[in-house]
Structure 1
Amino acid sequence: MARSELYEKGIAMRSELLGEAFTDQMNQSTYDDPIMQKFRDVAAETVFGALWTRPGLDLKTRALICVITDATMGRDPELELHIRMARRQGWTEEELTEALLHMSGYVGVPLIREALLTASRVFKEMRNEEASA
């Protein structure tokens, strides 16, 4: 893929949101496959380069929007990433838990139960990573 300005901005934004170590880990596992590399490149340019860098909303708000939409759609693998991003942007475990609990009355308890199981796992992983750093 040609390295456009949006692609370069997107790669930098992705690393900022997820952290260098986690981004490297994903590049060596999920994105070591040529097909998934293509996906990463398209997402870097179109999502991270074009959407996440737009003016009008801060990164913290954008991260919460992603957590909420993932939970609403039952997209737990993406929710894992976006919870990680939201924590890195300053949302606390308590705030994210409360946002998810609030949604149970609007999108349903089963979806939010799954989202909270995912959140709990990610919170624990991140606490362990911080403790070993």
Structure 2
Amino acid sequence: MAESEYYKKGTEIRRQLMGSATADKMAKTVYDDPMMQKFGDYAREAVFGMLWSRPGLDLKTKALICVISDTAQARWPELAIHLRMARNTGWTEDELSEALMHLCGYIGLPSVREAMLTAKEVFHEMRNEK
């Protein structure tokens, strides 16, 4: 794929949000075959390059929106990625757990419980990386 300006911008934003080590690990594991590489290239250009770079909301707010959306839709693997992004944009573990707790009254305890278990794993991983 030719690297458009959006692709380059998406690469930069993705690394900023995920952290270099996680972005590199995903490139070697998730996006290591032609089919997934096509998907990854599209996501990098369209989602990270075009959507995440839009003005109006900062990256921190956008990351929290993704955490809430993933929790509401029971998208646990995506939630793990977005929780990492949220932490990397400045949300604390306590703030994120409170945001998840707030969802108890709106989407229900089972989804929030799974989200909290996912957060527990992600936060543990991130503390051990430092």
Structure-2 residue corresponding to 1:106: 106
State percent identity of aligned pairs: 62
Structure-1 residue corresponding to 2:51: 51
TM-score, normalization by structure 1? 0.96
Q: CA RMSD in A?
A: 0.6
Q: How many residues align?
A: 130
Structure-2 residue corresponding to 1:121: 121
Structure-2 residue corresponding to 1:85: 85
Structure 2 unaligned regions, length at least 5: none
Taking the TM superposition and a 5 Å limit, the aligned residue runs for 1:1-133 are 1-130=1-130
Structure 1 unaligned regions, length at least 5: none
TM-score, normalization by structure 2? 0.98
How far has the Cα of 1:33 moved from its partner?
1.4
Q: Distance in 1 between matches of 2:81 and 2:59?
A: 14
Question: Runs (4+) of structure 1 moved beyond 4 Å?
Answer: none
How far has the Cα of 1:2 moved from its partner?
2.0
What letter corresponds to residue 33 of structure 1 in structure 2? Answer: D
Q: Distance in 2 between matches of 1:94 and 1:112?
A: 15
Q: Distance in 2 between matches of 1:38 and 1:108?
A: 36
